[in-house]
Chains A and B, each alone.
Chain A
Amino acid sequence: MHALTVDNLKKSFKTKKSKSGFSGVVSTFFKPDWQLAEALRGISFDIEQGQRVAFIGPNGAGKSTTIKILSGILQPTSGDVSVAGFRPWAEREKLAYKIGTVFGQRSQLWYHLPAQDSFHLLASAYDVDRDTYKKRIKILTESFEIGDLLDKPVRSMSLGQRMRCEIVASFIHKPSILFLDEPTVGLDVSAKAVIRDLVYESSREDGTTVLLTSHDTGDMERVCDRVILIDEGEIIIDDKVSKLRSNYIRKKVVTLNTKEENIILKMAGVKNIDHSPHSLTVEVDTQKQSVEAVIQKAMTQSSLHDISVEDPPMEDVIKAIYAKTKKKVA
């Protein structure tokens, strides 16, 4: 069952072109020069109920515009969208009860009041009755470990604590679809890990559909099953996260701990990326050279104490995909 369907979605913004200099200002004042900026150029995709999808792209790619249309904030120029069976911009109020939103840089909590005052307020706004609210907040308090934060004013919370409360706030009315826009922005490594695990677990237990946008590929890897890569208003990849590495990048990082102090590997498709006494890290282009051949060559020069073979970081994978797309366009 589709939780969300997007069909040939387009959005253009009309922007005023400014001219420099006094005469430019005067002429713009009397005769503004308008231009159309295309934010989305006809994207289509479906998301199944319970799926966790990452929506990734550089700044200006169209991620936020898409989320704004899907959540009902913006009206598209053309195309159709169905979210939980509703047309978001036309049935905004009905849809509001079905979706939860977390926008990393915007808070829905009252800054000077304890978090539970905001939870209570949101429960009333979403027509959650008192008994249901009590049960729900008990479950969420336990799973998000915010018991000691309930009576604490939001202003005295750390960013990580606040973000946990933000997510709880968006879960209070038990939405079937959750939109997360940069939920881990500004958080430290451990707080990011906690948030990612909590979102993943809650979504898995409740069957909540998650659409996440982030610049942090860690969010995508830890939370999502599927990734949609968008650039300049077009979808360039829509695939499983697990397949992203194997399908779109053919490189492995091999680290060798050797008995000899130095070894030299001069082979086609092998690039040295780090070198220190008794250790060598190389990047192997698996289309030109097999990892096995690299290890065999190393073993002819020295016995090996340890070997590790890793995929390159997801960030490099994404960069490589964008580079490939840019090349194709050029």
Chain B
Amino acid sequence: MVNPRKLYVFASTSFRDHMSHRLKLGVRFCMCVFFMFVFIEFWQLIARENLIDIPFPVADICWYTSLTQMMLFMSPRLFMTIEEDVRSGDIAYSLIRPMPYLWMRISEGIGNMTANTLVYYTLGIACVYVYIGELPSGGMSALITALFFLYFGSVLHILYQAMAGITALWLQDAEMAYRIYQKILIVLGGLYMPLTLYPDWLQTWAFLTPVVAMMFGPVQFVLGENSPLDIQTVVLLMICWFGFSVLLMGVIYRSCVARIEINGG
């Protein structure tokens, strides 16, 4: 069992480290704001021109796509850090610390993401509000609920990034595994539009994957009355997928350690 105090210390050190990279943080934030505006413009244009029939207020869907973009940009690219550790052999040297390697990297990823959250949840939300000009139809409480769950969804996203990163031990490269996972996240997580606009069969597939608990589940609260999942369902989804993901990660990690023990990383 990992000591939570150790997880906290690694996360807080990573938080401080990330806060010292102001330029990096700022550039990434600006890119995120740019993409959020592109998608807001996109949906506002669709609504203005009546290109498709949107069953929600346009402001809601603008908030929805802004938050899904935010989730992608907030999370550090942890798979690359792990891939680099595998390539350089540093992963082998991390095994002799009294802290499991993957949990160490995940804590650091959470610390890094928390630093981003501070900026994105304040400046980012302010930018979106100014651009859309109104809150989602569910009001401030819907927005806060979405942001609260989005933080945990992002933590789940970090777990899957870590698993993608560790595949570098077998495939020499984590990019392939991450790209496959990312495409699943984009399509089945509902990055560009809420899953409720998808055909029924695709929604069924989406609900069989953890990406629903990461992205659509938390963000759909901004759809107000039109949000298909209530808080209890999202909490349950998250608990189940967290449990499954941690177990899966344990299996992958043990297999990874066995491989390093034999080959030296």
By a beta-carbon cutoff of 8 Å, the part of chain A in contact with chain B is: 13, 65, 68, 71-75, 89, 92-93, 95-97, 99, 101, 103, 106, 110, 112-113, 117-118, 120-121, 124-127, 153
Contact = CB atoms under 8 A, between A and B. Distances in A.
Contacts of B17: 110, 112-113
Given A103-B93, A121-B10, A97 B98 contact: yes
Given A106-B90, A117-B13, A75 B261 contact: yes
Contacts of A113: 13, 16-17, 20
A148 B80 CA distance: 34
B262 interface: yes
Contact of B6 (A74, A95, A99, A125): A125
Contact of A99 (B20, B95, B96, B99): B96
B243 interface: no
A112 B93 CA distance: 21
B97 A125 contact: yes
Given A125-B99, A127-B98, A68 B92 contact: yes
Interface in B90-107: 90, 92-93, 95-99
A124 B5 CA distance: 8
Contact of B13 (A97, A101, A110): A110
Enumerate the 6 nearest inter-chain pairs by beta-carbon distance, A residue then B residue, closest first: A124-B9, A75-B261, A96-B98, A73-B92, A121-B13, A112-B20
B21 A106 contact: no
Contact of B261 (A74, A106, A124): A74
A131 B262 CA distance: 40
22 contacts: A13-B264, A68-B264, A72-B96, A73-B95, A73-B261, A73-B264, A75-B261, A75-B262, A89-B261, A92-B96, A106-B93, A112-B20, A113-B16, A113-B20, A121-B9, A121-B10, A124-B6, A124-B9, A125-B9, A125-B97, A125-B99, A127-B3
B138 interface: no
Contacts of A106: 90, 93
Interface residues of B, number: 24
A155 to B, nearest CB: 10
Nearest to A13: B263
B16 A73 contact: no
Residue with the highest number of chain A CB atoms closer than 10 Å, among B16, B93, B97, B98: B98
The secondary structure that dominates the A interface is mixed
A101 B96 contact: yes
Nearest to A127: B98
B260 interface: yes
A75 B21 CA distance: 39
Contacts of A127: 3, 98
Interface in B1-39: 3, 5-6, 9-10, 13, 16-17, 20-21
A73 B9 contact: no
A126 B13 contact: no
B233 to A, nearest CB: 37
A12 to B, nearest CB: 10
Which one of B95, B96, B262, B263 has the greatest number of beta carbons of chain A within 10 Å?
B96
A117 B10 CA distance: 10
B10 to A, nearest CB: 7
A92 B95 contact: yes
Contacts of B261: 73-75, 89
B20 to A, nearest CB: 5
B97 A96 contact: yes
Given A92-B96, A96-B98, A103-B93, A74 B9 contact: no
B265 interface: yes
Interface string B222-265: 00000000000000000000000000000000000000111111
Contacts of A72: 95-96
A280 to B, nearest CB: 50
Contacts of B265: 73
A13 B142 CA distance: 57
A127 B95 CA distance: 17
B98 A117 contact: no
A128 B200 CA distance: 55
Contact of B96 (A73, A75, A112, A153): A73
Contacts of B3: 127
B260 A73 contact: yes
Contacts of A92: 95-96
A124 B3 CA distance: 10
